[in-house]
Amino acid sequence: MHRVGRYIPPGTVTNPMDDTAGDSGSDALLDVMRMSKEERDAFLNDHGTAVLSLARGDEAYSIPVSYGYEADEGLFCIMLGYASDSRKRRWVNDTETATLVVHGMEEDGEADSVVVRGGLVEVDDETACYEAFSNNAEFTVLHESGSFVENTEFVVYRFDVETVEGRKFEHDAPEGIVDEGVGFAPSQD
């Protein structure tokens, strides 16, 4: 595992000189670690829902989705439902690089997340994606149009993956190499 920094939850009183929490106690600090490929694969297989973020220009559009994941192939698939004149379809068509965020949090505040970035490619042969869906997808038939299933067109996409990054927020994680500038308080080590 690779330590990338330290997360200080909002409201935590800290002393910036010694990397310990003040009034809240040192348990409030969470070490931020990179996940290994094996940890990412296990996390992605244990989950089946995520947030898909689409973009055009300086606007963003995010929706909850279910996904399928096949670790051996590095295959990420989603199925989207479209009503006629779908706003979601226009966003998908306009998006060059999409982001899929899978996350989970424990009662003690420890958390994990995996962020996948890449283009969405409509799938002609859906066989591999249906196998990936059978691994972990948690389908619902909810989308912004409120249309009945009979009036909905379902389209399967796969990610043309550019990057996959996993993070773990842990109490008392083992020491490792610090990688600053990742969007949270860097480690003082």
Closest alpha carbon to 49 in 65, 32, 28, 36? 65
The proportion of the chain whose per-residue pLDDT surpasses 90, expressed as a percent, equals: 51
Q: What is the pLDDT of residues 21-44, one digit of tens each?
A: 433 444 456 678 889 999 999 999
Torsion angle of the four alpha carbons 80, 81, 87, 90, in this order, in degrees rounded to the nearest 10: 50
Give pLDDT, residue 152.
82
Burial of 131-154, coded b for 16+ CB within 10 Å and e otherwise, reads ebbebbbeeeeebebebeeeebee
Q: What is the pLDDT of residues 135-186, one digit of tens each?
A: 888 876 554 455 666 778 889 999 999 999 999 887 664 454 333 444 444 4
Give 88's contacts (C-beta < 8 A, 6+ positions apart). 61, 63, 80, 82, 143, 144
Q: What is the pLDDT of residues 43-84, one digit of tens each?
A: 999 999 999 999 998 999 999 999 999 999 999 999 998 888
CA 83 to chain centre: 26
Q: What is the pLDDT of residues 106-142, one digit of tens each?
A: 887 788 999 999 999 999 999 999 999 998 888 765 5
- 142: its two tokens: 């909810």
Give pLDDT, residue 44.
94
